[in-house]
Structure 1
C-alpha cells in the first residue's frame, strides 16, 4: 500500500472528535488522595525523566475525574514519625482543598469521598469521628451532625469556587455508616453501635440532603454517589436494601472491584453492570476503586496489599497491567457503565510512614517507577487514553527498537500511521532499559501500519530502513487477532527478542 508521509504532532481531527465524545460519556479517573503528601515526602514525579506537575500529567494523559478522600479529624497522624517538611496531617479539609484546586486548575472534575470517620472507612471498619463519640447512640443528634458537617464542608468549598462535581456519601459502606465507636491499638473497629437499616437510612439521607441543599446554591450540579465494596450477590443485595429502606435520592451506584479480594472475572463484572443498568436505569454505574499490579516485587518495608493476579493476566508486567485495565474499561463501557477509577496510582514509595510501616503498600501497583518516580510509559497509566476505546475490539500492539550504539540523548520516537489515512504521527517511545525503547497502543485487528523510528522530535532524524524489510522506505506491520509485539534493531532488518518490560524496568529502577 502506498502511503504519503505527512507528519503531524497532533491527532487527526476525526479521532479527536471521536475521543472527545467518548470522554464526555465516560469517566476516566484516579484516586489521588496521597499525591500532596507524597510530594512533601520527597516524591519527584516525572515524565520522560523530566519533572512534571503530577496533576497536569494525569490530565494530559486523559484523566478527567480525580477522587479524593476527606477524614473528619485525622489527628492520629501527628503521632507518626515523619521526615522533616512533612505536614502533621493529610486528608483533612486543607489538604483536600489543595487537591481540588490543583485538579480543577488542570481541567479535571472532582469526586469528594466523605469517609465520615477520622480513619479509613471500609467494610469492616466504620468508626464514628471522635468529635461525635458522645452522641454515638443518639440517632437524631448524630444525623444532625452529619448534615451540618457535610453542609459546612461543601459550603466552604463552594464559596471558594471548588464545589466538587460528585460527592460520595460514605466509603465502602457495606455495613452502613459509623457502625463502631472506637478502634483498638491495631486500628480495628470496636464498640459496635448499630446494624439497623433504619439507622443507616437516616445517616445516608441526611448526608445526601446536605449535598442537595448546597448544590442548589452552586453553579455545579453535584451528583451523589454511594459506595459498596465488592461484586456478586452482595452488591445486588446492598443496593436493593438501600432503596427498599428509603435511600433513593442518589445518582451513582458505585462499587470497588479488585480481583485480589473479590475474585470475579472482568467479563462477570461487565455482566453485573449490565444487569444493574437494566434494574436501575435512572442511575449511573461506576467502579469507584480498582487496582492491578505491574510486578510482584516489593520495594520497601511496607508490604504489598494486592498480591493475587488472575491467570488471564499473569505474570504481572507493565504491559499486562495496561491490558487488564483497558479490557476492564472496555467491559464497563460495553455493559452500560459510566466510569472506572483506579485507586492510589501515585502512592509511590518514600521515606514517609503509615500506621503499619514505612513506604507504600502500592509501590508495585502505581504508574511510576520506584526510586525515580518516572511515569511508566509502557504500563497501566496509559489506560486513560480515550483513543484506545474508539474500537472496542482493538488489541494491544507493542513496537520496540534496540538503540544500542545510537544517539539517544534527545529521546527516541516512532512515526506511525495508526489509521491508514496517510497521516504520520510521531510518538515518543518509553525507555525500557538496556537501550530498548517501546511504544504501546491499541489497534483494530487487520490494521496495516507504516512506521519508522527517529531520534529527537524531528522525523527527519530517522533511520534508513533497508529495502529488504521496507515498503516505500517504511516498516509495514499488519495487526493480528491477538496481542502482539514487534521489534527491530535501529536501521536493520534484524528483529529483537521480546525482552520482558518487567525485568528491564526493575533493573534500571534499582540502579
Structure 2
C-alpha cells in the first residue's frame, strides 16, 4: 500500500529533485547496469485478465502477448505470486506453472512470491490458508515445507527453476498469524522463514531466498526485523523491498531507500532487491523519472549487491480491480514510464 504525502517546503523538493536542471544543460549519462541486473514485472493477474478478454497492445497499437510487449520494453524477469488454495483458482500452483512456463518461453528469469495464504498477504493481513488454520505450530512448519517443495517440484517438472523465491509477502510483522506474528513471537517467525529456506534449497540450492518487507525507506523497521531474524537463526539471501511513492515524494523516498539498502548490506552482508514499485498510471513523467532513479540507486548499492527492480502489475489498466498504479494507458498500451527499463 502507499500513502499520499505532500511536501511542505519547496526547498526540500528543489534539493532532492534531479529534474530541475536547465533545459540547455546536457543530460547526465546513465551508468551501465551491473551484470545480471533484473528489470522485472509482477504480472500475476495476467491469466485472469486474459480470461476476462483483456487485450494488450504494443506502442504501435498491434495486439501482442504481454510477455512480448514487456520484453520489448527491456523487461528480463517476471515475478509470480503463489496462493495455497484460492477460491477462484487464480494464482494456485497450476496457474503459477502456466504463467511461469510462458515466461520461460519468452526468455524471462523468474521470481516466485510465496504468500502462504489462500489470498492476499501483506502488512495488514497474513491469514493462514484455510487448510492450515487448526494445525499446531510444528504441523504448520511441516505444512509450509511440504507445500513449498510441491510448488518448486511442479515448476521443476516443467524445467523451470526460479532464480529467486520469496518466503512470505510484505512480512513487516511476520506471516501465518497469529503463530508467526513477529511482534508477538519473533522466534516462531524465524522458524517459519527457516523452514521455507530449507524447503526451497532442498529442490534448488541455487535459488536465492528473499525475505520481503514494504516501506523500503523505513530503516528502523528493517533493522528490527532482520536483527530479530538473525538472532533467532533464520537464513536468507536477499532482502526484498516494496516502494510505492507519489509524484510529490519519490525523490525523498528514493534517497531514504538507498540509505536503507546500503545499511542492509553493511549490517547483514545481504543482497537487496526492490521487488515491487508502482505509481499512478496517469503520472507518466514522474513515474518514468522515479523508475530511472530507483534503478540507478539499486545499481549503485555497495559491492554491486543491488539485484534489480520489479514493477508491480504494470499491465493493469482501466483500473483493473480498482488498481490504478499500473504502467499501461487506457487503450492497453505501455506508457513511457516503462521506457526506464530500456537500458543496459
- TM bin (shorter chain): 0.7 to 0.9
The aligned counterpart of 1:342 is 311
**Deviation of the 1:180 alpha carbon:** 4.2
Runs of 5+ consecutive residues of structure 2 not aligned to the other structure: 1-29
Contact 2:77/2:110 (<8 A) preserved: yes
* SS of alignment partner, residue 227 of structure 2: helix
CA–CA separation in structure 2 for the residues paired with 1:195 and 1:344:
32
Please give the root-mean-square deviation of Cα atoms over the aligned residues, in Å. Answer: 2.3
The aligned counterpart of 1:403 is none
Contact 1:45/1:373 (<8 A) preserved: yes
Contact 1:177/1:204 (<8 A) preserved: no
The aligned counterpart of 1:153 is 151
Q: TM-score, normalised by structure 1?
A: 0.57
Contact 2:148/2:199 (<8 A) preserved: yes
CA–CA separation in structure 1 for the residues paired with 2:103 and 2:40:
11
**Deviation of the 1:72 alpha carbon:** 0.4
**Deviation of the 1:236 alpha carbon:** 2.0
**Deviation of the 1:112 alpha carbon:** 0.4
The aligned counterpart of 1:39 is 50
Larger Rg computed on CA atoms: 1
**Deviation of the 1:203 alpha carbon:** 1.1
Q: TM-score, normalised by structure 2?
A: 0.83
Kindly report structure 1 stretches of 4+ aligned residues shifted beyond 3 Å: none
CA–CA separation in structure 2 for the residues paired with 1:73 and 1:60:
34
The aligned counterpart of 1:127 is 127
Matches for 1:22-421 after TM superposition, within 5 Å? 22=33, 24-47=35-58, 48-75=60-87, 77=88, 89-135=89-135, 138-180=136-178, 195-216=184-205, 221-230=206-215, 231-232=217-218, 233-248=220-235, 250-259=236-245, 265-281=253-269, 283-295=270-282, 316=283, 318-336=284-302, 337-349=306-318, 359-363=320-324, 365-370=325-330, 372-376=331-335, 379-387=336-344
Matched residue pairs, number? 306
Deviations along 1:88-129, whole A, 9 cap, x unmatched? x21111111111011111111000000000010011201000
CA–CA separation in structure 1 for the residues paired with 2:307 and 2:157:
29
**Deviation of the 1:349 alpha carbon:** 3.0
**Deviation of the 1:197 alpha carbon:** 1.1
* SS of alignment partner, residue 24 of structure 1: coil
CA–CA separation in structure 2 for the residues paired with 1:223 and 1:235:
19
* SS of alignment partner, residue 98 of structure 2: helix
CA–CA separation in structure 1 for the residues paired with 2:34 and 2:298:
14
Whose RCO is larger (CA < 8 A, sep 6+)? Answer: 2
**Deviation of the 1:332 alpha carbon:** 1.8
CA–CA separation in structure 2 for the residues paired with 1:330 and 1:22:
8
Q: Which is helix-richer, 1 or 2?
A: 2
